[in-house]
Structure 1
Amino acid sequence: MIKVLFVCLGNICRSPMAEAVFRHQVKAAGLQNVISIDSAGTGDWHIGHPPHQGTREILDQHQISYEGMRARQVRPNDFHDFTYIIAMDDSNVTNLASFAPKTVQGEQRASIHKLLDFSSNRDETEVPDPYYTGKFQEVYDLVEESCRQLLAYIVQKESLAE
């Protein structure tokens, strides 16, 4: 099983949006039995909360399910349990280091990337936080396109047949 973890600050806006969008795309590609998806935050303020209302509204507009999703915080074992950890911005990548366990030589660790590393739009390098900007549609557009590219990358890298 290939496991993908999306990470943002509070796990109520960007990472749950990416989780839901990617889950939708993976299911459409018929790979839901091969790729597992989750999300988490580096902060602990929203643990147990559902996605932000703005995230839910934009996902509803696109008929993408977020059923059962609840915020959680990154855990040290995530670095061993997941194949890919996908952060929304540079700050998330930096904060992830504080959760990463010390590794023993030869130990498998997740591959860490920023979501927009997979975007064809090279003007943006970070997914802006709509919690502060309110621009949920802009974030959705970045997430949707980057998730499509991420899926193509994983299919190719992991030799999966779509």
Structure 2
Amino acid sequence: MTSTREISAIKSDHDLPEESFKELEKYIDSIKTTKGALIEILHKAQEIFGYLPRDVQLFVARKLGIPGAEVFGVVSFYSYFTMKPMGKHTISVCMGTACFVRGSDRIIKKMKDTLGIESNEITEDGLFSLKDVRCVGACGLAPVILVDDKVYGRVKEEDIEEIINNYREK
């Protein structure tokens, strides 16, 4: 078990809640064997913190007894993981071949204009993050966007404002 003082020493760059570190530690401790569980643990850490800043990566590395560089390598390799805070809702625009051919370049431009941000940014109100992704595997519905885990298929530019407004109202 990591002590409060050890957690405080790790939490240097961000004001991350100590309770979140304790929740993550409890999760890690509940796993029978952590060998081969790094990705699973990082998923849980991102679920708890919302992103994977350096402090969280170092905490995971210390708990697993592996180099921080190994954790960073996994976090930076997989596009699912983010090292920056995200908005309450993440909008992913598929830029794969089928979606691109059917106009996803226009869809993402309309998203950027409507939200007032670029890809990999967060709106001022913290409500939305925008990402362009390579493929979501729903080519038959192209062009596709995801808002959190909800898939929107055959999206047209004129659909964008209504989709965004649905999440603003929640």
| TM value normalised by structure 2 | 0.33
Structure number with greater CO (CA < 8 Å, separation at least 6) is 1
| TM value normalised by structure 1 | 0.34
